[in-house]
Structure 1
Amino acid sequence: MSKVIPSRFPEQRAGRGATVNDRPQRFGLPAREADGDWLDQREEVDGAAPPLRTTVTLETPRTIITRNASPDVGFDRSINPYRGCEHGCIYCFARPSHAFHDLSPGLDFETRLFAKPDAPELLKRELAAANYQCRPIAFGTNTDPYQPIEARYRITRACLEVLAGCRHPLTITTKSDRVLADIDLLKDMARDRLAAVAMSITTLDAKTARTLEPRAPHPERRLTAVRRLADAGVPVHVSIAPVVPQITDHEIEHLVERAAEAGARGVFFLPVRLPHEVAPLFRAWLEAHHPDRAAKVMATIQSIRGGRDNDPDFFTRMKGQGPWADLIRTRMQIASRKHGLGRERLQLRTDLFRPPVLPGTQMSLF
């Protein structure tokens, strides 16, 4: 029997993170009716809205490597095989990207997904360009490369095969133990310092995880993946990102301890970020799941973000500011020292790169 959802949250669906599905207003796009094409008809089951289906649209971009010049991130290029993410993490800073396509950063972001099956061929073409300069490519910087649809489409796997074939360095950030499906490639590349993984674990509490990141694998499965990657020689860190004040911050020391026990080389954190439409989505989530502390949570977040829901400024957006941010940073440092986790930053090799040979080129004759 379906769980009854309170009527004041009519869009809340079982197994989904967002509690609302408002259409974007920033770009002057017209509101879209819930006509059954984009939203299931609102027929209630035992007083609850029906579960939403996940749909996937195939996308054919002209390029696959995204460049950035942000001074406070450690990479200048990335690949996102998918747009939207079924994990449904309510705090995901990538949610507003769906607004560019006249889709809601709320439930649409979790259920109306896009896959890029041409990504491996596009990647080969871009790596083979005469002016290409090799630097590590980051996966998982926007949406998770190992979300559930990867099991069907295998686009991340195919891109990794391209990079492995030409000995190109890569990093992966994920919330999923599905990364273990590619441990054969990662183990081989790690031997030559060509691969590193960051496993994102925000909470060890299963009940919190079910609402905060409803379709991401259980935290214990992620810790098991950390252990298996470490045992295979793949450098792996644990990302406690984001830390949500009054919701998950009490777990910092335990998370660091478990990360060390699993074989992680280090840990790092990011305070929760609430850009654009993420802020009202997060407020609605708090009202649905933590009404007793919603005001306190937002007050603490604003104290970290200079009095705002979100701080978009370089450097402070990643670290936060004020006493709360300083306290979290200090606790992380003390816990890391206690469990022997260093602050080393793995330097991946770029000198082994050999451009792929495209069909029909002269080199393919040899």
Structure 2
Amino acid sequence: MAAPLAPRGRGTASNPFNRYAPTRSEAFDDGWFQEVPPSRATEVRLETAKSIITRNQSPDLPFDCSVNPYRGCEHGCIYCYARPSHAYWDMSPGLDFETRLIAKSNATALLEQQLSKPGYVCAPINLGSNTDPYQPIEREHRLTRQTLEVLLRYRHPVTIVTKGSLVLRDLDLLVQLAEQNLVAVMISLTTLDDELKRTLEPRAAAPSARLRAIRVLRENRVPVGVLCSPMIPMINDMELETLLEAARDAGARNASYMLLRLPREVGPLFEEWLQAHYPRRAAHVMSIIRQCRGGEIYDSRFGHRFKGEGPFAELLAQRFAVAIRKLGLNRRGGYELDCSRFCPPGGQMSLL
């Protein structure tokens, strides 16, 4: 059976049962075929969260604390490593992940509570570690902006990772944070090919819009870098040097990259996408991925999961190192933010 076409503006046509579902069903081709799949509207459910700051001990990440105002992501990136997390809410990592979203309505109130606790130790908080803080529904819900307002009021450092041009809406806050060395932004740039972006990241900002975001942030003295992620063998890895050069020309001051990750349900969804859009290349792409992951399609080990191993992964790392040195992007990544300014409203800052 041919790989199904995704609904317009979505990353996948599939909605596989999550791994915790008690029952499962199997699709059957009865001979009827719909050339253009119907669109599927985005649903947003409000949630009263119990906590908002998530902590990690991963040596692969440059931060220990993160805040994610939303569950699920409307950008619909087919490769998104966060898709499996939707199973925890009894929803599919497939189409549900990009259409049935959850907004944490009390995110800012919870954040203020946690930051005001007497024993709280300040460390940079990352926005965008799981789902994009500037996905389209942020226009209406404004949870990311409200979070930045709280962090600015508390003089708390923050890092942002996004592929959404909506980040420029909050330029006024970002400039104030930057003046106190409290913010750094990384713009995720995957391809400069609009057609590839349309199927790979259907509702994310266009490549030109992301480059404009880098340019505007740099012009306003907001520290900004580029994250070339994910690098997908035989799909966009040939663009690595071009992406880095375009980001440098736009004003990025540092760069990073990640190799494609396919945890749990993401693997089958990505293979289905390959069959739909690159059927002649699919087997070769998956073969290289397995070479980079010790014969499997995913390797979750710290120190390996972001970069991979083997000839292809090593060559990609060498290409990246040469390119950032040549382009002057090999500076450290903007995470040396000032934690000494942290002070809850009404509190007294340290004299030292």
TM-score category of the 2 structures, normalised to the smaller one: over 0.9
**In structure 2, the residue corresponding to 1:318 is in which secondary structure?**
coil
In structure 1, what residue type is equivalent to 2:251?
A: G
> 1:32 Cα shift?
7.9
User: Structure 1 residues 321, 111: closer, same or farther in 2, change over 3 A?
Assistant: same
Q: Which moved more, 1:327-336 or 1:85-94?
A: 327-336
Tell me whether 1:66 sits opposite 2:54 in the alignment: yes
- Counterpart Cα distance in 2 of 1:11 and 1:100: 26
- 1:317 is aligned, of 288, 305, 328, to 305
User: Structure 1 residues 255, 331: closer, same or farther in 2, change over 3 A?
Assistant: same
Tell me whether 1:27 sits opposite 2:9 in the alignment: no
Question: Structure 1: where are the runs of 5+ without partners?
Answer: 1-6, 35-43, 359-366
**In structure 2, the residue corresponding to 1:142 is in which secondary structure?**
coil
How many residues in Structure 1 have an aligned counterpart in Structure 2? Answer: 342
Tell me whether 1:354 sits opposite 2:343 in the alignment: yes
- Counterpart Cα distance in 2 of 1:357 and 1:30: 54
- Counterpart Cα distance in 2 of 1:33 and 1:127: 47
The within-5 A match list for 1:1-366 is 8-10=2-4, 12-24=6-18, 26-31=19-24, 47-346=35-334, 347-356=336-345
- Counterpart Cα distance in 1 of 2:228 and 2:193: 13
The answer to whether the 8 Å contact 1:124/1:356 transfers is no
> 1:170 Cα shift?
0.2
In structure 1, what residue type is equivalent to 2:337?
A: L
Question: Structure 2: where are the runs of 5+ without partners?
Answer: 348-352
Q: Show the counterpart of 1:40.
A: none
Deviation per CA, 1:83-105, whole angstroms, max 9, x where unpaired?
Answer: 00000000000000011122110
The answer to whether the 8 Å contact 1:81/1:156 transfers is yes
In structure 1, what residue type is equivalent to 2:243?
A: L
- Counterpart Cα distance in 2 of 1:356 and 1:289: 53
**In structure 1, the residue corresponding to 2:306 is in which secondary structure?**
helix
The answer to whether the 8 Å contact 2:4/2:276 transfers is no
Deviation per CA, 1:75-128, whole angstroms, max 9, x where unpaired?
Answer: 111000000000000000000001112211010000000001210111000000
> 1:297 Cα shift?
0.3
**In structure 2, the residue corresponding to 1:56 is in which secondary structure?**
strand
**In structure 2, the residue corresponding to 1:91 is in which secondary structure?**
coil
- Counterpart Cα distance in 2 of 1:143 and 1:124: 21
In structure 1, what residue type is equivalent to 2:187?
A: M
> 1:46 Cα shift?
6.4
The answer to whether the 8 Å contact 2:124/2:158 transfers is yes
- Counterpart Cα distance in 2 of 1:103 and 1:323: 38
> 1:290 Cα shift?
0.5
In structure 1, what residue type is equivalent to 2:343?
A: R
Percent identity over the alignment is 51
The answer to whether the 8 Å contact 1:23/1:31 transfers is yes
- Counterpart Cα distance in 2 of 1:276 and 1:45: 29
> 1:27 Cα shift?
2.2
- Counterpart Cα distance in 2 of 1:11 and 1:242: 23
Deviation per CA, 1:319-346, whole angstroms, max 9, x where unpaired?
Answer: 2111111111111111112212223232
Q: TM-score, normalised by structure 2?
A: 0.94
Q: TM-score, normalised by structure 1?
A: 0.90
The answer to whether the 8 Å contact 2:81/2:262 transfers is yes
After TM superposition, which residue ranges in structure 1, 4 or more long, deviate above 4 angstroms? none
- Counterpart Cα distance in 2 of 1:246 and 1:80: 32
Q: Show the counterpart of 2:350.
A: none
> 1:357 Cα shift?
5.4
- Counterpart Cα distance in 2 of 1:108 and 1:88: 10
In structure 1, what residue type is equivalent to 2:342?
A: F
> 1:11 Cα shift?
6.1
**In structure 1, the residue corresponding to 2:227 is in which secondary structure?**
strand
The answer to whether the 8 Å contact 1:167/1:354 transfers is yes
**In structure 1, the residue corresponding to 2:23 is in which secondary structure?**
coil
- Counterpart Cα distance in 1 of 2:41 and 2:113: 35
In structure 1, what residue type is equivalent to 2:319?
A: R
- Counterpart Cα distance in 2 of 1:114 and 1:32: 25
RMSD over aligned Cα atoms: 1.8
The answer to whether the 8 Å contact 2:3/2:275 transfers is no
**In structure 1, the residue corresponding to 2:320 is in which secondary structure?**
helix
The answer to whether the 8 Å contact 2:5/2:36 transfers is no
The answer to whether the 8 Å contact 2:255/2:333 transfers is no
In structure 2, what residue type is equivalent to 1:277?
A: E
Deviation per CA, 1:197-238, whole angstroms, max 9, x where unpaired?
Answer: 000001000010000001001001000000000111111110
